[in-house]
Amino acid sequence: MAVLSERDTASKAGPRPAPRRRSAPLALNAASVLLGVAAWWAVSALGVKIPSPPEVAARAADMLVEGTLLDDTLASLARVLAGFALGSALAVAVGFLMGWYRPVRALAEPWVQFFRTIPPLAIIPLAIVLMGIGEVPKIFVIFLAAFLACVISTLQGVVTVDPTLINAARVLGAGDATIFGKVVVPASAPFILVGMRVGLGSAWATVVAAELIAAQEGLGFRMQNAQLYYDLPTIFVSLIAIGLLGLVMDRLLLLAERKLTGWQERP
């Protein structure tokens, strides 16, 4: 019996990613953050009327002790999660229907394109009139922003599926349900997840304006309230909180994308 050498075994197992290659992006990310904070500190030291990092950190600590930062964060996060989840779920369903059935696309696409040209923020006055000043209009405008950003990406994913794959599945006897579940959905997954990431950014961008609708708490509400008193440290704390929450949620979606599309070749 031939015994494989250690080198042969390693070659058959395939190349392993080098630890240095894995750690390099993290090191660059850390360096980028440190450079950004240093640049911010330098700009504030030059006399530009923005708070320095220590001032913002002190204000964040005060808001944590008061409990306002946690309450505002939870309120905004709940609105974004509700609007984003509803918008993404409906966008995926509508996008699949539009991509798979031409009559549905012909009926729905003009309306989707029409509403895509209207900023969700412009819907706020109408939402207030129709839905009042509770949580519903806030979540609705966030939902609309996420939906419009994700539906086109899902549609594009479905219509760009390689017809050869679909025809091959039909030749092998697969029905529409099997083709849809085994071919179309996996091939569209990268487009869907990219659309969800864009929709997430739109949802966070919309939450600040959505919290203008008679909100009593939320990061957007806190920023608007601080603006009246020229409270720049509070504004910076809210901005940084929104950015960090959005970054964490985006990285979670990116992780899901890598897990669900592991079959794709990556550079």
Tell me how far apart the alpha carbons of residues 22 and 149 are, in angstroms, rounded to a whole number. 31
pLDDT tens per residue, range 163-180: 787 778 777 777 777 777
Query: Residue type for 185, please?
Result: V
Q: Give yes or no for a contact between 172 and 138, defined as CB atoms under 8 angstroms apart.
A: no
The full set of domains in the chain, from first to last, is 57-260 (1.10.3720.10)
pLDDT band at 69; cut points 50, 70, 90: very high
Tell me how far apart the alpha carbons of residues 225 and 231 are, in angstroms, rounded to a whole number. 9
pTM of the model: 0.80
Give the burial class of 104: count Cβ atoms within 10 A of its Cβ; 0-12 exposed, 13-18 middle, 19 or more buried.
Answer: middle
Tell me how far apart the alpha carbons of residues 264 and 267 are, in angstroms, rounded to a whole number. 10
pLDDT tens per residue, range 122-153: 888 888 888 888 888 889 999 999 998 899 88
For 260, phi then psi, to 5°, come to: -80, -20
pLDDT band at 6; cut points 50, 70, 90: very low
